[in-house]
C-alpha cells in the first residue's frame, strides 16, 4: 500500500459514505473503514473533506490551430491547469487534415501530447475529410488504436455536409464508435453574418445573434434525425440551447441512444456577456445563450437529459481576442475575426462542485456528469470515472469550507485572462492524485510534464439512453 487517504467522505455518482481509500501501484487497492497502513505507506488525513474521482474533461482544444492562431495552452499548460482543478483526464480534439487518414491524425497529435501531458489523455478525432471511402474506413484503424470517438462539425469551412455526416454515423455503428457533433446551421449562420456585416453590425453581440438559439436548435434536431436514420448513437457536444435540450430529452424518451454534453460557461453566464466592455473575451461557439436556455440546461442536468459536463477549453490571448476590433494586418475587425474559444479547464470541477456545495445539485450528480458519465460514454470506465477497487487512483480531495475567488493570476494555464475572473466559489480541491501521484496540492502544481499517458478507449455501443 503506497498511499492511504483516511477518514474522508467518499462521493461517487451513486453514493456518499465515510471510508478510507488505499492506493497501490497507481490503482485503488482497497476501500473500507480502519484500513491498516503498511510500514512505508504514506498517510493522508481527509477528515472533514470530500474524496472524489478525478474529473474527465471530455472536450478540450490544446495547441489547436484555429482562427488564424494557435490556442494558447499547449498540452503541458492545459493539463497542468487541469490537474490543479481536479481534472485528471482530458479528451482533446485531434483535427484531421485534408487527405489524412484518421489513425495518422492521432499519431501526429500524440507526438505533441505524449511529451507534454501531465495527466492522462485521449482524443476524439475531429473529422474534416469524409469525402472518400479511404478516409471513412480509416475510422476503423483509429478504433483499433483505442480512439473510439469522433466529432463532426456542421459549421466552419472544415465542417462536413449532411451526407458525409450520415456516412460517418453509419460507419460508427459497424466499428463500435461514438460520433459527436458540433451542431449549428452553417448556411443560416453565413446568411446572418453577411446581413449583419452589410448593416455595419460588427460587435460581439452579433456573433451571438448570428448563431442564436434557433441556429443551434435546428442543427440539434437535424443531427438527431440523421442519427436516428443511420441507427447510430449520437453525442451532441457543448449543447447550449433550450430547443436542443428538449430535442435530446424527447429522443431519449423514445429510447434512442442520444447523449448531450454541456459546458460550464453555459451554466454560469448568459448572452448578457456580449454587452460587456470586453465582450470579445466571451466569443465562443456555440455562443452563450439566453437565460431561458440556461435554465433548460440546468434542468437537463437535473433530470438526466444532459449526460456530461465539459469545457470546450480553447483559450486565446486578449490581444488575439482584440482582432475583433483591429485585425492582425491592421484592418478593421468584426465579430467574425475574433478567435472562438475561452479558457475553463481549471474551473470546471471547482465550479460544478461549488454549485453542488451551494445546493443547486447533489455532489453525486456533479461527479456523475463530470467524471462517471464521460468515462462510460467514451469507453474508459475500465480505468476512470469512479472510486472503485481496481480503477486508476485518480483522486481529488475537496475542502467544502474553502472559499476561492477565481483570479487568472492564480490559474495554472498560459492564458492572460479568464472569463471566470471574480467568480466566487464555495469549496475547492486541495489535492489531486493522478494514478496515485500527487500532482496538485494547496494551490501548487506538483506534477511533471510528460507523465500523462495516452488512454486506449474501449469500443462503444449503446442501444438506448443508458448514460
Ligand atoms: N468552438 C470554440 O469556441 N472554440 C473551438 C472550437 C469550437 O467549436
Ligand atoms: Zn465545437
Ligand atoms: Zn470544441
- What is the mean predicted confidence (pLDDT) over 446-452? 98
Ligand 2 mean position, distance from CA 153 (Å): 7
Distance from C-alpha of 90 to C-alpha of 76, rounded to nearest angstrom? 12
Question: Average pLDDT of the chain?
Answer: 98
Q: Are 348 and 264 in contact (CB under 8 A)?
A: yes
- What is the mean predicted confidence (pLDDT) over 356-384? 98
Whose CA is closest to atom 8 on ligand 1? 285
Residues 6+ apart with CB under 8 A from 200: none
236, three cell numbers: 451532441
Ligand 1 mean position, distance from CA 39 (Å): 50
Number of H helices, E strands in the chain: 14, 19
Q: Which of 91, 54, 84 is nearest to 391 (CA)?
A: 54
Q: Is the CB of 59 under 6 A from ligand 1?
A: no
| Residue 158 predicted with pLDDT over 90 | no
Nearest ligand 1 atom to alpha carbon 341: 3
pLDDT of residue 452: 98
- Which tens digit of pLDDT belongs to each residue from 200-258? 999 999 999 999 999 999 999 999 999 999 999 999 999 999 999 999 999 999 999 99
Q: Is the CB of 314 under 6 A from ligand 1?
A: yes
| Residue 440 predicted with pLDDT over 90 | yes
pLDDT of residue 375: 98
Whose CA is closest to atom 1 on ligand 1? 285
The cell 486578449 sits on which residue?
Answer: 318
Whose CA is closest to atom 4 on ligand 1? 341
Q: Are 25 and 2 in contact (CB under 8 A)?
A: yes
The cell 483591429 sits on which residue?
Answer: 326
Distance from C-alpha of 352 to C-alpha of 50, rounded to nearest angstrom? 14
Q: Which ligand is nearest to the CA of 183?
A: 2
Q: Which residues pair with 16 in a beta bridge?
A: 11
3 state SS of 195: helix
Q: Which ligand is nearest to the CA of 340?
A: 1
Nearest ligand 1 atom to alpha carbon 156: 8
**Parallel/antiparallel/unpaired status of strands 3-11 and 50-53:** parallel
Ligand 3 mean position, distance from CA 73 (Å): 14
Please, what sign has the CA dihedral across residues 13, 14, 19, 22? negative
Q: Are 300 and 252 in contact (CB under 8 A)?
A: no
Residue 323 backbone phi and psi in degrees, to 5: -60, -10
Ligand 1 mean position, distance from CA 38 (Å): 48
Q: Is the CB of 167 under 6 A from ligand 1?
A: no
157 pLDDT band, cuts 50/70/90, is confident
- What is the mean predicted confidence (pLDDT) over 323-337? 98
Whose CA is closest to atom 5 on ligand 1? 341
Q: Is the CB of 312 under 6 A from ligand 1?
A: yes
Q: Is the CB of 67 under 6 A from ligand 1?
A: no
Distance from C-alpha of 465 to C-alpha of 304, rounded to nearest angstrom? 10
- What is the mean predicted confidence (pLDDT) over 271-282? 98
Distance from C-alpha of 90 to C-alpha of 119, rounded to nearest angstrom? 8
Q: Are 182 and 155 in contact (CB under 8 A)?
A: yes
| Residue 377 predicted with pLDDT over 90 | yes
- Which tens digit of pLDDT belongs to each residue from 38-85? 999 999 999 999 999 999 999 999 999 999 999 999 999 999 999 999
Amino acid at each position: 500500500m503506497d498511499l492511504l487517504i483516511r477518514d474522508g467522505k467518499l462521493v461517487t455518482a451513486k453514493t456518499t459514505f465515510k471510508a478510507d481509500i488505499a492506493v497501490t501501484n497507481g490503482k485503488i487497492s482497497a476501500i473500507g473503514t480502519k484500513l491498516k497502513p503498511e510500514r512505508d505507506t504514506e498517510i493522508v488525513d481527509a477528515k472533514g473533506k470530500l474524496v472524489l474521482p478525478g474529473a474527465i474533461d471530455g472536450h478540450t482544444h490544446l495547441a489547436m490551430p484555429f482562427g488564424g492562431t494557435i490556442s494558447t495552452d499547449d498540452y503541458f499548460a492545459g493539463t497542468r491547469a487541469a490537474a490543479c482543478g481536479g481534472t485528471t483526464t482530458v479528451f482533446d480534439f485531434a483535427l484531421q487534415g485534408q487527405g489524412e487518414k484518421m489513425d495518422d491524425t492521432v499519431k501526429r497529435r500524440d507526438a505533441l501530447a505524449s511529451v507534454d501531458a501531465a495527466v492522462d489523455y485521449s482524443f476524439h478525432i475531429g473529422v474534416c475529410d469524409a469525402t472518400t471511402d479511404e478516409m471513412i474506413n480509416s475510422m476503423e484503424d483509429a478504433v483499433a488504436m483505442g480512439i473510439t470517438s469522433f466529432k463532426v462539425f456542421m459549421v466552419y469551412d472544415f465542417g462536413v455536409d449532411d451526407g458525409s455526416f450520415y456516412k460517418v454515423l453509419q460507419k460508427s455503428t459497424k466499428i463500435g464508435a461514438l460520433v459527436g457533433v458540433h451542431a449549428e446551421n452553417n448556411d443560416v449562420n453565413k446568411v446572418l453574418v453577411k446581413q449583419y456585416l452589410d448593416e455595419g453590425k460588427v460587435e460581439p453581440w452579433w456573433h451571438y445573434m448570428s448563431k442564436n438559439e434557433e441556429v443551434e436548435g435546428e442543427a440539434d434536431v437535424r443531427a438527431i434525425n440523421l442519427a436516428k436514420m443511420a441507427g447510430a448513437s449520437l453525442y451532441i457536444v457543448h449543447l447550449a440551447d433550450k430547443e436542443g435540450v428538449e430535442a435530446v430529452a424527447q429522443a431519449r424518451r423514445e429510447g434512442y441512444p442520444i447523449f448531450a454534453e454541456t459546458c460550464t460557461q453555459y451554466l454560469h453566464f448568459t448572452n448578457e456577456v456580449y454587452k460587456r466592455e470586453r465582450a470579445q473575451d466571451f466569443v465562443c461557439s456555440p455562443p452563450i445563450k439566453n437565460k431561458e436556455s440556461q435554465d433548460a440546461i440546468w434542468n437537463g442536468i437535473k433530470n438526466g437529459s444532459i449526460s456530461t459536463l465539459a469545457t470546450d477549453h480553447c483559450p486565446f490571448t486578449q490581444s488575439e481576442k482584440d482582432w475583433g476590433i483591429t485585425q492582425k494586418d491592421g484592418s478593421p475587425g468584426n465579430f467574425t475575426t475574433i478567435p472562438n474559444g475561452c479558457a475553463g479547464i481549471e474551473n470546471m470541477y471547482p465550479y460544478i462542485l461549488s454549485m453542488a456545495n451551494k445546493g443547486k445539485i447533489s455532489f453525486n450528480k456533479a461527479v456523475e456528469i463530470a467524471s462517471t458519465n464521460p468515462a462510460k460514454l467514451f469507453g474508459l470506465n475500465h480505468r476512470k470515472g469512479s472510486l472503485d477497487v481496481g480503477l486508476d487512483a485518480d483522486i481529488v480531495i475537496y475542502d467544502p469550507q474553502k472559499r476561492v475567488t477565481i483570479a487568472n493570476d492564480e490559474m495554472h494555464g498560459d492564458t492572460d485572462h479568464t472569463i471566470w475572473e471574480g467568480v466566487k466559489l464555495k469549496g475547492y480541491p486541495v489535492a489531486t492524485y493522478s494514478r496515485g501521484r500527487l500532482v496538485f496540492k494547496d494551490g501548487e502544481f506538483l506534477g511533471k510534464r510528460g507523465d500523462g499517458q495516452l488512454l486506449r478507449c474501449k469500443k462503444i455501443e449503446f442501444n438506448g439512453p443508458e448514460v
